[in-house]
Amino acid sequence: MKILHVMGGQEGYGVGRYVAEHSRAQARLGHSVHVLTAGGRTGDPERVNDGVLWHAPQGKYPFFAYNDCLQTVLHNLPLADRLRELVEREGPFDVVSAHGWKGVLAAGIGQRVFRCPLVVTLHGTQVGRMGGKGSREEIYVADMEKWACERAERVVVPSRFVRREVQDRYGISEEKIALVPGGVGQETFEARVDAGDFREVFASPDERLVLLAGRLAHEKGPDLLLRSAQHALKAAPNTRFILAGDGPMKELVEGEIEKLGLGDRVRLTGLLGPTVMGALYRVVDLVVVPSRYEAFGIGALEAVAWGVPVLAANVGGLTELAEKVGASVIHPVNPEEPVGFASAIVGALKAQGRRTDAPPRAYGQRGIPNELTWREAATQSIEVYEKARVERECAAPCST
């Protein structure tokens, strides 16, 4: 099968990580996989990585908008043009897979013009992220998601939680929605470093390390962690916190760190690649996921695979993930209560003992169910694409 994934955002955490891992797993199953993205980290408009062909519009965008929402819409213009080039040069494609709303306008060209089946993957919903409130732009995003789900042959979601949202909020029938969880894979995190030396970059031997990895966005709750860190440090002053990620709340988080006097205890690293994240998972004492909204929780699953204790908010897909891997592995907390969350952090650190007294972790210390591997996710998604192709009534691959 020849597959074209369209991702309007950048590579990195969240959707970017999902697309990269999922595409690689599909390629290893013998499929021809292409990814069209708004821009790669290398700046190269074309490259091959682990059997996946990555494409991006050539040159810089000649236009800029006054907000991120409009900018995303404008980004779909060069994306759509690039999609046309790819279909004419690399096609025909058996399916076009759009990830979130950011690339769906461009991906829709594949369906409307080239008659390719369209599969939309929603990594959460905007209505859920808004929590009952929303700006004009956020409401537009929610409307775009609904429109995309209505047009697609199939809608893929990562959890029962998101499936219910798509059914209840967007009115999509259960038969049209396919549940394909995310996964985890060792090769992504191969890090050949001396664990002791690497750990000293972030903390001294007698200090503990707590990690939050993900976008600095409201739904991920970085501000909730900072409020709890202030209390946790009173009981465990030899603790350091790492916030690995970037996003719209970066300036607010920086201001909160200064306001709370946490400058010497909290480190913002920016976006880190998988290799560095693999090294971090080997040496941190605890991973926290204080999300207000979470569709699945790939970061929590990655930590589990490395044998790192996890404190995760009892919301959405995180609740389901805890059921799958065992509640004794992912401990539910309420990050909206800073004192209680701080107590949970201190308690988890005490229960684990000093990390420096134990050998560096190895991947796979805790068993991951087969259904939560990328290979299984790729297998399931291919079945969804086949059904979408049949539903599109294409006896042969779509043509130009």
How would residue 223 be classed by pLDDT, with cut points 50, 70 and 90?
very high
How would residue 60 be classed by pLDDT, with cut points 50, 70 and 90?
low
Assess whether pLDDT exceeds 90 at residue 142: yes
Give the CATH fold of the 2-183+373-391 domain.
Answer: Rossmann fold (3.40.50)
Q: What is the mean pLDDT of residues 284-308?
A: 92
DSSP letter (8 states) at residue 293: S
Contacts of 242 (CB under 8 A, 6+ apart): 202, 209, 210, 211, 212, 266, 267, 269, 280, 284
Burial of 276 from C-beta contacts in 10 A (0-12 / 13-18 / 19+): middle
In this predicted model, what pLDDT tens digit does every residue of 163-199 receive, in sequence order?
999 999 999 999 999 999 988 877 667 777 888 889 9
How would residue 397 be classed by pLDDT, with cut points 50, 70 and 90?
low
- Among 1-15, 227-241, 355-369, the range of highest mean pLDDT: 227-241
Q: What integer pLDDT is reported at residue 251 of this predicted model? A: 95
Contacts of 85 (CB under 8 A, 6+ apart): none
Entry field: residues in the chain: 400
Residue 238's H or E segment, with its range, is none
Alpha helices in 207-331 (DSSP H): 222-235, 250-259, 274-283, 298-305, 316-325
Assess whether pLDDT exceeds 90 at residue 288: yes
Residue 297 structure tokens:
């929780």
In the chain, list all ranges with CATH 3.40.50.2000: 2-183+373-391, 186-357
CA angle 11, 13, 19 (to 5 degrees): 55
How would residue 49 be classed by pLDDT, with cut points 50, 70 and 90?
confident
Distance, CA of 255 to CA of 333 (rounded, Å): 25
| Superfamily name with CATH number, domain 186-357 | Glycogen Phosphorylase B; (3.40.50.2000)
Distance, CA of 400 to CA of 398 (rounded, Å): 7
Q: Let me know: does 153 contact 118? Beta carbons within 8 Å.
A: yes
The sign of the CA dihedral 343, 348, 350, 351 is: positive
Q: What is the mean pLDDT of residues 120-143?
A: 89
* Percent of the chain scoring above 70 in pLDDT: 90
Assess whether pLDDT exceeds 70 at residue 146: yes
CA angle 51, 57, 61 (to 5 degrees): 150
Q: Are strands 2-10 and 95-99 parallel, antiparallel or unpaired?
A: parallel
Assess whether pLDDT exceeds 90 at residue 341: yes
Q: Which of 83-97, 111-125, 205-219, 383-397 is predicted least confidently? A: 383-397
Distance, CA of 226 to CA of 158 (rounded, Å): 28
Single-letter amino acid, residue 231? H
Q: Could you tell me which residues are beta bridge partners of residue 65?
A: none
DSSP letter (8 states) at residue 320: H
Q: Let me know: does 32 contact 52? Beta carbons within 8 Å.
A: no
